Amino acid sequence: MNCHKTHDFFLNVSKELPLVYSVRYRTPIESIVSWYLMNFSKGLWGTDKDSIDVFKPWAQERIDYWKRFANKWIIDRGGNDFHYFSYHEFIKDPMKEMTRTIVDVYGEACNEARLATVIERLGVSKKNDIRTFRYFDESFFKSLELQVDREMDRIGLPSAL
């Protein structure tokens, strides 16, 4: 089976294509922090954007994106060709979740020894503590979560705080 990975950053990916969809999701705060850091690690942003004055308004825009993403891809679920995987569950037990992904999406048996090697090489680790993020502000992050508490409840996501 061939795969195509997309983050659907512009929410313009069709849900009507004749594909098997694997939707991985995480809490909004973890998603926002990860996306912000990815902009630097991938060289998309220069160091001039690395400030609290850039992060906070950008994060506020991303919470609206997360809400629309959650509604499109998770709450308004697709048919049988949609498989959902919580990042929270993945980092808790990468072996279990990747095995489930392989079996559910690809319908194949899992070579556990090979998968264990892949997980180790990729450095899949336990949850990054968002409290160590350089612009961590608990009250700001709580205010963001409050804007999507309905979606988080419907999905069954815990608070990242």
What is the rounded average pLDDT for all residues in the chain?
88
pLDDT digits 0-9 by tens, 109-129: 889 999 999 888 887 665 568
pLDDT computed for residue 3 by the predictor: 63
CA 101-104-109 angle, 5° bins: 85
pTM for the full model?
0.84
pLDDT in tens for each of the 161 residues of the chain? 566 677 888 999 998 888 888 888 999 999 999 999 989 888 889 888 899 999 999 999 999 999 999 999 999 986 667 888 888 888 888 899 889 888 888 888 889 999 999 888 887 665 568 899 999 999 999 999 999 999 999 999 988 88
Matching residue, tokens 């205010």? 143
